[in-house]
Amino acid sequence: MLTDISGEWKPDLSEPDYDALAYGKFLDSPPSVSKKQLAALKKLEELLLDSDYLLTRLLCDNAKATEADSVAKVITYLYAAHGEAVGLVQYFITKEVEASNKEGTLFRANSISSKMFTTYSRVVALEYVWTIFAYPVAELDHMAEVSSGESGREGSNISQTTIMGPMAMEVDPSKMDEAADDQINTLELWLVAQKLFSGMVKAKSSVPSEVRLLLRHVQTEVASKFSEQAAHKAMGGFLFLRLLCPSLMAPQVYGLLKAPPNSVAQRQLILLAKVMQNLANDTLPGKKEGYMERLNEFITSNQDRLRSFYTDLIARAEDGPQTRPSVPDAVKTNSLVQLHRYISVNYDKLSAVIQQEDEGLAEELQEVMDSIGNIDAEEL
């Protein structure tokens, strides 16, 4: 954080390295492979992309729970490298909706479509998240440091005027100080949540086209089988639960802060994320936690605005900024190595199920795997 010549606080808002945040260890130098192995890995990539999702589906459907995150991630990276990740996620969204008999079971945390969206949203939407949340999160963290006496910097003045206002937002009686006023804290939490939500709605033009297209697909598929209300919740499950709320709860992971937030700010961000998720779910928070009951009206008063926000996004899905990122070569190679590793470990099982679906595909996969041979690589 910085202070200007007058001693007033100014945020240090330098944009993060989005590639480092999106890809992490996949940017590391790939393991050593021969030219022959590299050529065979490219054939594996072609086989994955040219099988009309058959190989992709079988690889994902047969992944163990401990492998599903990694499999979904590397496949998403590979499709993204060819500009086909939107179609990939849409395919698995449709597949999940078709297989579901109850709207309440859609897009749980362990679903492949949810895992793929989480990965892909970090590839295409981190700049959007930074645009809407970087300043308010930095300010909230700063004010929490000041109010808790942890700042220790010149120019830190709790009485200064800020867009975020007062920082006392704890509403859980078991965590409140004796001198705290629960009504005031609730109002302050409401105020900050309202400002965050309003800022998000005003910045709707910054929502990437890829995210809009996926939300539109969710809306179309879920509404046609269940209801508009179910579609409304499902869109919130993707945009809020998989992207916006995680960025508030772990701002350093999404590049909003350079380090984890002050402990007071961390609690405030968790509360804000909880309010936002209740809004997305159209759930009154007071039903589960009595101390949140005063925020029920926040949910009811903002539902129409949230619906209008969704409507605008999906009506102009192609008009949003198109990210179409260039996936780094190291990420592509590491993804192929990790995919090969997964297939090798589970080859007997996978080859058997592929053989049942498509004998030709099974033969092609065996030929490719034989050509690659062994690659000494650790799981990323």
Q: What is the pLDDT of residues 223-232, one digit of tens each?
A: 999 999 999 9
142 & 36 share domain: no
CA 367 to chain CA centroid, nearest Å:
36
Does the structure show a pLDDT above 90 at 205? Answer: yes
**The residue type at 11:** P
Q: What is the mean pLDDT of residues 163-175?
A: 64
268 & 349 share domain: no
Q: What pLDDT shows up at residue 167?
A: 60
The more confident residue out of 79 and 165 is 79
Mean pLDDT over the full length of the chain: 88
Phi/psi region, residue 181 (left: phi>0; alpha: psi -120 to 50; beta: rest), is: beta
The CA distance from 194 to 305, in Å, is 11
68 & 180 share domain: no
The more confident residue out of 283 and 46 is 46
Q: How many helices (H) and strands (E) does the chain have?
A: 16, 2
**Residue 98 is encoded by which pair of tokens?**
């078709």
Q: What pLDDT shows up at residue 103?
A: 83
Q: What pLDDT shows up at residue 143?
A: 84
187 & 295 share domain: yes
Q: What pLDDT shows up at residue 368?
A: 96
pLDDT band at residue 365, thresholds of 50, 70 and 90? very high
Give the CA radius of gyration of the chain.
Answer: 23
Instruction: Report the percent of the chain where pLDDT is more than 70.
Output: 89
pLDDT band at residue 180, thresholds of 50, 70 and 90? low
- Residue 71 · residue 92 · CB < 8 Å: no
Instruction: Pick the most confident of 137-141, 186-190, 242-246, 374-378.
Output: 242-246
**CA distances (Å), 365 to each of 190, 349, 358, 369, in order?**
55, 13, 11, 6
Q: What is the mean pLDDT of residues 232-258?
A: 96
Evaluated on CA atoms 43, 45, 50, 52, the torsion sign reads: positive
Q: What pLDDT shows up at residue 6?
A: 43
In a domain, 212, yes or no: no
In a domain, 50, yes or no: yes
- Global pTM reads 0.90
Give the CA angle between residues 104, 108, 111 to the nearest 5°.
130
Q: What is the mean pLDDT of residues 37-47?
A: 95
Q: What pLDDT shows up at residue 253?
A: 96
The more confident residue out of 251 and 182 is 251
Q: Residue 229: CB partners within 8 Å, gap ≥ 6?
A: 282
The CA distance from 368 to 188, in Å, is 60
116 & 129 share domain: no
106 & 169 share domain: no
**CA distances (Å), 379 to each of 77, 155, 338, 341, in order?**
16, 47, 7, 8
Residues 3-12 have pLDDT tens digits of 444 456 677 7
Structural element, H or E, at residue 118: helix 112-124
Q: Which of 22-26, 47-51, 105-109, 287-291 has the lowest mean pLDDT?
A: 287-291
Q: What pLDDT shows up at residue 149?
A: 61
In a domain, 116, yes or no: yes
In a domain, 238, yes or no: no
Taking 3-state DSSP, the helix, strand and coil percentages for the chain, each rounded to the nearest 5, stand at 70, 0, 30
Q: What is the mean pLDDT of residues 123-148?
A: 90
Q: What pLDDT shows up at residue 285?
A: 72
157 & 285 share domain: yes
Q: What pLDDT shows up at residue 178?
A: 66
Q: Which of 24-28, 96-100, 102-106, 284-288 has the lowest mean pLDDT?
A: 284-288
Q: What is the mean pLDDT of residues 154-161?
A: 39
The CA distance from 285 to 297, in Å, is 10
The CA distance from 92 to 219, in Å, is 14
Q: Which of 79-88, 180-189, 202-211 has the lowest mean pLDDT?
A: 180-189
In a domain, 234, yes or no: no
Does the structure show a pLDDT above 90 at 176? Answer: no
90 & 144 share domain: no
Number of domains in the chain: 2
In a domain, 219, yes or no: no
In a domain, 236, yes or no: no
Q: What is the DSSP letter of 7?
A: S
Q: Which of 157-171, 318-332, 341-355 has the lowest mean pLDDT?
A: 157-171
The residue segments making up the domain with residue 112 are 19-122+326-372
